[in-house]
Structure 1
Amino acid sequence: MKNCRLENRLAEAEQPVKNFMADLIEELNKRGSISQDPKLSLRYFGIKLEIKLVSFDGD
């Protein structure tokens, strides 16, 4: 899935998805201030998903 398409889907997502993304970004931002390589590993439906914060332009 292209990044632009994913961004559009997230923008149109229901509130629980937006809440999850906000929590995820907040957690990655906290980890970013602690380590050089802020990332989060999640296990979901038998897969391991690793999400890495590349940049953060927010406050």
Structure 2
Amino acid sequence: MTAGLTIPVTSTTAEAFGATILEAPKAVPTGRNMLVRHPDQTRVEYVEHRDKHPADMLP
């Protein structure tokens, strides 16, 4: 996945590449997250923090 994309865009992209969304994007205390199983069966939790550190922001 490409850094800087929001979780809804990432979930659409993940499905397009054959991944399965195990837990849909949802609000959590720190921002949003989702759980994805990639085609090779790797499970990945994607997190989008609400309050990003300025050093983590892309230009």
What's the TM-score once normalised by structure 2's chain length? 0.35
Structure with bigger RCO (C-alpha 8 Å, 6+ apart): 2
More helix by share: 1
What's the TM-score once normalised by structure 1's chain length? 0.35
More strand by share: 2
